[in-house]
A and B are shown apart, each in its own frame.
Chain A
Amino acid sequence: MAVTVMPYSLPDAGLFAGKGDGLLIWQPESTVIVLGQSNTPEKSLILPEVERDNIPVTKRPTGGEAVILTPAMAVITVAMKFSTIFPSKEFFGEINGVIIRILSDLGVNNLGLKGISDITIGHKKILGSSMHRRENRLVYHAVLNTGEDPDIFEKYLRHPSREPEYRQNRKHGEFVTSLEREGFQIEFGDLVSKLKSRLTED
């Protein structure tokens, strides 16, 4: 049985398809695998495991590598129009900087920006982000691992074909961590309210 890549219909699909500004912070209701734009199930996934556990697979409009979304994660999607051309990394730095400040306010420490668009605790990744730009509008998409066991990545995802330098060929389980695993318990409601207020204000 081959894995079928479903059309992208997650809660933030409207932001990708829309034309205006928008912000959505949400928690997936169930586990789903989301491929990056140029990923294929064969190259990115451990298919027997995905098939056996019947994990749905979809493909987002943004770049980057495949991710798994579970109810123990928070997804942040920001759509905005822009009038001037600026480097993508600059935007990643801006918005991820805001997220770092919020997480710091909530008591998380040892946070850093690594790679092109990752947020880390020490040398481990807790948030990955990607972007879709079309004409004068962009959609930023980030996944924050609040409490998922990183071993789940090991189970379903192959080692990515591209990796940031700081990953240093580490396996998913050694490269990714969660806020909970690092000893930080954060209420989703607190995160949402702070993100909403700060992102709309910044």
Chain B
Amino acid sequence: MRYIFKFPDIGEGLTEGIVIEWYVDKGTAVKVGQPLVKMETDKVVTDIPSPREGVIAARYGKVGETVHVGETLVEIEIAGEAGAEAKAPQIEMVEETGAGVVGTIEVASNNAYLPASDEGREVKPAVEKGAARKVLATPVARAMARDMNIDINLVTGTGPAGRVMKIDIQNFHAPAPSAKAAAVISPASPAAGELIEIKPMSQIRKSIAKNMLRSKQSTAHMTLFEEPEVSALIAARAKYKEEYKKEDINLTYLPFVIKAVAAALKRHRDLNAEMDFEKGNIIYKNYYNIGIAVSTPDGLVVPVIRNADRLSIKELSIAVAEIAVKSRDRKLTLDDMKDGTFTITNYGALGGWYGVPVINYPQAGIIGIGRISQKPVVINGEIKVGNVMPLSLSVDHRLIDGAEATEFLLDVAAGIADPLTLIMR
């Protein structure tokens, strides 16, 4: 019986290791626990012990080569069973869960930790037709295919037993999708090979994905909406815009919103806090660092304006401009983006109206600003044309009750509706 032993996860959660030294050759008799090979992962150099007693029938990966978790390291001929070397069809069928395996072949689990003596499983002889085929390939070929975004299952191997070799990957040309498949997707689908494009995720995209998921999984999102009438804000901005321009400062609505949010946070400390659920604590912050969600070509980033409560509208305008320049020039550093206590996202600048913003975890809240638009409003019993700014506030309902969230949102809305209060209060 042949035992296929695959490179196990040694517990770092990593996907690959480098062969440092082989202790066995083809034909070496091994016992359970005897070191087979010395492997190095990111932080660990470890001997991989044999899970079975037998004779090494084949080994894969040369010194210095990278082997991925789940790829075959050695094949062990278990003592007492016939067969010096697995025949080609047998090996192929081992890896592919294919049909028609005759006899018994054991395969170590793909995601095992370091092998225990009872590791491995038997391949069932009968397998559903059409099951995904996993071909035999050298570690180098597999890595190269991965790097070149080639589906190794489509490559015809020219090595022993049909094993896919490095040269097969280099010579591989992706087959055009069948006419039938293309027609199903779209009658006017693009040329073959352009139906999809696979790109590796950027680091920033990975971070966004991780943070968004963590926020949604770790908090109880609740969102409220409000529409302050902001004609006074428009007037204030119009009044000072030209004056600011002389100092080369572009006055937008955002600094007023930041000011209103910072002021409201001081009156509603729960919104400027975070929950340490494991320790059973609520951490209140006595500083007001406002994160501003910024869309960049690389993805979403949230640089922070520190101590926003202490800055004037003019200083906030300068800070917002600095953020914009740094974002555009890709010069934001981690220091620029850490220690935020609350976040503002301004999709109104892009023409958006309402949203349900995702909390920048572990913060307690985020407010979204929509575009100002004219709408009918009732003022002193009369319908007039008003200017409204849609606000969307998401809070962590574990920490913030509905009443507190409502009061905070109305507080922010009042500050935006009457900018004078931002200075006078």
Contact = CB atoms under 8 A, between A and B. Distances in A.
B43 A165 contact: no
A21 B382 CA distance: 86
Contact of A64 (B9, B43, B333): B43
Interface stretch (B10-18, B146-154, B286-294, B315-323): B10-18
A26 B45 CA distance: 22
Contacts of B49: 135
Interface residues of B, number: 29
A196 interface: no
Interface string A119-137: 0001100000111111100
A87 B203 CA distance: 26
B47 interface: yes
A132 B334 contact: no
- Taking each of B9, B35, B40, B338, which has the highest tally of chain A beta carbons within 10 Å of its own beta carbon? B40
Interface in A76-129: 85-90, 92, 116-117, 122-123, 129
A20 to B, nearest CB: 18
A132 B113 contact: no
Contacts of B13: 89, 116
B46 interface: yes
**Chain A interface helix/strand/loop/mixed:** loop
Interface string B33-74: 101000011111111010000000000000010000000000
B143 to A, nearest CB: 14
A129 B44 CA distance: 9
Interface residues of A, number: 31
A90 B40 contact: no
B247 to A, nearest CB: 33
A63 B11 CA distance: 14
A9 interface: no
A88 B203 contact: no
A169 B44 CA distance: 22
Nearest to B116: A85
Contacts of B11: 86-90
B211 to A, nearest CB: 12
Contacts of B20: 37-38
A90 B334 CA distance: 28
B114 interface: yes
A37 B35 CA distance: 18
**Chain B interface helix/strand/loop/mixed:** loop
A170 interface: yes
Contacts of A168: 203, 207, 334
A117 B41 CA distance: 12
- Taking each of A61, A87, A122, which has the highest tally of chain B beta carbons within 10 Å of its own beta carbon? A87
Contacts of B10: 87-88, 133
A145 B157 CA distance: 50
B206 interface: yes
B35 A135 contact: yes
B114 A131 contact: no
Contacts of A63: 40-45
A47 to B, nearest CB: 20
B334 A170 contact: yes
- Taking each of A62, A92, A132, A133, which has the highest tally of chain B beta carbons within 10 Å of its own beta carbon? A133
B203 A131 contact: no
A168 B253 CA distance: 33
A52 interface: no
A37 B40 CA distance: 7
Nearest to A60: B45
Nearest to A122: B338
A165 B338 contact: no
Nearest to B16: A162
Given A38-B40, A162-B42, A133 B47 contact: yes
A170 B33 CA distance: 41
B44 A134 contact: no
Contact of B44 (A62, A123, A135, A162): A62
Contacts of B44: 62-63, 88, 130-133
Contacts of A123: 334, 338
Nearest to B204: A168
B147 to A, nearest CB: 14
B34 to A, nearest CB: 9
Given A87-B10, A169-B203, A61 B47 contact: no
A170 B18 CA distance: 25
A189 to B, nearest CB: 29
A132 B203 contact: no
A140 B33 CA distance: 21
Interface of B: 9-14, 18, 20, 33, 35, 40-47, 49, 64, 113-114, 116, 203, 206-207, 333-334, 338
A-B pairs, top 6 by smallest CB distance, nearest first, are A87-B11, A133-B46, A63-B45, A63-B40, A88-B11, A131-B44
19 contacts: A37-B20, A37-B45, A38-B20, A63-B40, A63-B44, A87-B10, A87-B12, A87-B113, A88-B11, A89-B12, A90-B11, A92-B43, A117-B43, A123-B334, A132-B46, A133-B46, A133-B47, A134-B46, A165-B206
Interface of A: 36-38, 61-64, 85-90, 92, 116-117, 122-123, 129-135, 162, 165, 168-170, 174
Given A87-B11, A130-B45, 14 more contacts: A63-B40, A85-B114, A87-B9, A88-B46, A89-B12, A123-B338, A130-B44, A131-B43, A132-B45, A133-B10, A133-B44, A133-B46, A135-B47, A168-B203
